[in-house]
Amino acid sequence: MRILISGASGLVGKALIPLLQQAGHQIHALTTRPNNASFPSNIMVYHWNPEKGIIDNNAFNDIDVVISLAGTKIAQRWTSKAKKSILESRVLGTRLLVDSLKTNNKHHVTHFISASAIGIYPSSSKKIYSETDTDIANSFPAEVVRAWEAEVDKANDVVSYVSKIRIGLVLSKEGGALLPLAIPTSLGLGAWFGNGAQWQSWIHIQDLVRLFVFVLQNPGVYNAVAPNPVSQKDLVKSIAKTYKVPHWLPGIPKFAIKTAMGEMGEVLFDSINASSASIQNIGFEFHFPLLEAALSDLLPLRTKK
């Protein structure tokens, strides 16, 4: 297939592209950068600017599938400017892609696949969330996901299939949630947040990108999480165990996190247990269903030369 990807230079995009190419797919990428030097020569690169509503419509020529991954990182202090960027980068980017398909009556796109997030679900220590749950959290991340998915759903008017991949805590050597936890823990300074009892629905980066490839032939809405969530305390303890270092610090109290990180710190105390049963029931198999195996594969972190 010919696949157009927005957010191709992000954490997920950089891991996904080689896997798609290995499967024989041709990749086109959208970028806001002024030059194309960061992309290999075998990728067709086109420019866009979601904020200004600008896109090179040649990007859609002969495209079969659009994969939308673009979005400003949410793990930052939520100033008013940052919150605007987090929301608009997802909403305006998705809207521009969908509107471009609506006005291009010669396009051949049959499937629109978008990243999303399990942050749409309310925090709960007891509930296990499936994709059919309609409860929405009263939080900024949920507000973002709700507005984001509303734009994704509009693609139903112009393509045959629309898929939403609600991503959990991504474990990767290249970024995501693992680095800020692993680096201090490797030095014996790891600590969980509060009592550490909050559920962490995680996924290894390789399982995440394999899931995107699987969804090419299996459209739907899926929680992109491993089948065995852990508590935040167990996550930190498992990292320490993998590094074979002692763990002695108590949990970091909520007031300290809020002082350091502001409103964004609230997310660290959210407990979301999302189920992976839906995608497993149609045949997807995780290479890393257990946290210990995922950490063993990813740790120790190695400094790039």
pLDDT digits (tens, 9 = 90+) for 1-19: 999 999 999 999 999 999 9
Average pLDDT, the chain: 94
- Spatial distance between the Cα atoms of 168 and 225, rounded to a whole number of angstroms: 5
Asked if the model's pLDDT at residue 118 lies above 90, the reply is yes
pLDDT at 305: 36
Nearest CA among 164, 218, 195, 182 for reference residue 294: 182
In SS3 terms, 255-300 reads as HHHHHHHHHHHHHHHCCCEECCHHHHCCCCCCCCCCHHHHHHHHCC
| Mean pLDDT to the nearest integer, 183-211 | 95
Output the six-digit token pair for 3: 């696949």
For the whole model, what pTM was predicted? Answer: 0.94
pLDDT at 260: 85
User: CA 81 → CA 4, 86, 231, distances in Å?
Assistant: 29, 9, 32
Asked if the model's pLDDT at residue 303 lies above 50, the reply is no
**Angle subtended at Cα 226 by Cα 267 and Cα 93, rounded to the nearest 5 degrees:** 60
pLDDT at 302: 61
Asked if the model's pLDDT at residue 124 lies above 90, the reply is yes
Are 118 and 167 a contacting pair, CB within 8 Å?
A: yes
pLDDT at 257: 87
pLDDT at 22: 95
pLDDT in tens, 223-268: 999 999 999 999 999 999 999 998 888 889 988 988 888 888 888 9
Lowest mean pLDDT among 43-52, 61-70, 253-262: 253-262
**Secondary structure element (H or E) that encloses residue 168, with its range:** none
Asked if the model's pLDDT at residue 67 lies above 90, the reply is yes
CB atoms under 10 Å from CB of 216, counted, come to: 19
% pLDDT > 70, the chain: 98
| Mean pLDDT to the nearest integer, 78-91 | 96
- Spatial distance between the Cα atoms of 23 and 287, rounded to a whole number of angstroms: 18
